[in-house]
Amino acid sequence: MSLGELVRAVLSKTESASGRFGIWHITDDFGIKGFACTGSATERRRFSRLYLQSNTTRRRFQLSGAQLSCAGLRQTRSVSARLLELSKTFGLSVLSDSSLDGSVAPYLLRVPRFVALGIDLTDSDDELLQGLPKDRRRLINRFSTNSFHAKIERGGAFTREFHDRYHVPSMRISHGEEASIYSTVRMLRRNPNAEMIRLFQGEQCIAAGISEKVGADYRLHKTGWLDGSQTIRDEGVQAFRVWSAIRRARQLGCQRLDLGGTPPFLLDGLFNYKMRWNSCLDTKRIAWGMHHLLFDPTHPEVQAFFSRQPMIIVDRMGELGICSTTSPKLHGIKPNILRSFKSWWRLVSPVEAADRRLPLEPMDRMPSGWFVEEPID
């Protein structure tokens, strides 16, 4: 880990830990729009982009209400109570696990940090290809020529170069401050089944990624392309990686290719890219924790947020669903994905809520009666 990466990691952990003692006020550059956050720096960055539609924000930290007494430092006002107030002001609060208590539980919407999309492997390449979009098939045909080939490697000989020249620059360029950078050396050492798929054009390694056999799944982990080159990425090298992994998975007798963690926002570019591989949602693999959203459905910024970002949620019964301000027909979600959900929740407008006399208070499954269940079919 470089010095810069170490500093970023320390600052990120410090910001995450501070949520135990107070609240971050995140606002746009003009101080007009904002949200409250007791979560991690990663959550702050994600919702700055999604909710504020900005990658540059202002931060202000406020200690939770406390006073000194003979017994020492005593909490006089819960963080949750203050967050409820801020949700009325900003529209949204993003809570960490440490700031949760029973008083706000009915008002929370749980959103997986990531979900797992995967491809059920067919008996033959031709059968799988037939189910893919034309542009994906063209890319696979291009990378099937003699000038391109894949090579499987085990061990750590290429690990440092992969981390420095492929993984880190690619993630920084593609995801900016939201990039998740992990030690590739540690990943290979901890996972005895982990291996590297290196992708070559002629003699030049243009991309690589770590993969692992887990039971009947072949799971994709970290990836990167040479020096984070935009040209290499735009030429479709990730399609080359997925196709190479499909063929490797078959060699190992796997039944499914796990495409790895994917943001749960249906219009996100990464979600759409993976969905178009004719993938399915793995409803049993949500292993990355939850965002806990506390919000005011009447707030115009919240209404706009759900309009822009239809998202996968987990309701209070533990069932997977989708939240949006529109019906399922308007999003073009593939049937393979839709069939994984129990419900589609439409957040209605204040006008519709008033006309239908819908209660703002929490209901059995959702944090507000303003969420109306729509038929998925």
> For the segment 107-150, what is each residue's pLDDT rounded down to a tens digit?
999 999 999 999 999 878 888 888 889 999 999 999 988 899 99
Residue in 307, 257, 247, 246 with CA at minimum distance from that of residue 279: 257
Domain 122-254, CATH 3.40.630.30 — does that match?
Answer: yes
What integer pLDDT is reported at residue 181 of this predicted model? 73
Model confidence pLDDT, tens digit, residues 179-209 = 777 666 666 667 778 899 999 999 999 999 9
Residue 241 CA to chain centroid, in angstroms? 20
33-37, 132-136, 285-289: range with lowest mean pLDDT: 285-289
Would you say the pTM of this structure is higher than 0.75? yes
Q: Given a cut of 80, is residue 12 above it in pLDDT?
A: no
Q: Given a cut of 90, is residue 286 above it in pLDDT?
A: no
Q: Once rounded to an integer, what is the mean pLDDT over residues 226-231?
A: 95
Model confidence pLDDT, tens digit, residues 318-349 = 999 999 998 777 667 888 888 889 899 999 99
Query: H helices then E strands: how many in the chain?
Result: 14, 19
Q: Is 109 helix (H, G, I), strand (E, B) or coil?
A: strand
Neighbours of 98 (CB within 10 A): 14
What integer pLDDT is reported at residue 66 of this predicted model? 42
Q: Domain coordinates of the chain in residue numbers? A: 1-103, 122-254
Q: Given a cut of 80, is residue 18 above it in pLDDT?
A: no
Region of 31 on the Ramachandran plot (φ > 0 left; ψ -120 to 50 alpha; else beta): left
Higher pLDDT, 65 or 286: 286
Tokens of 287: 């292993």
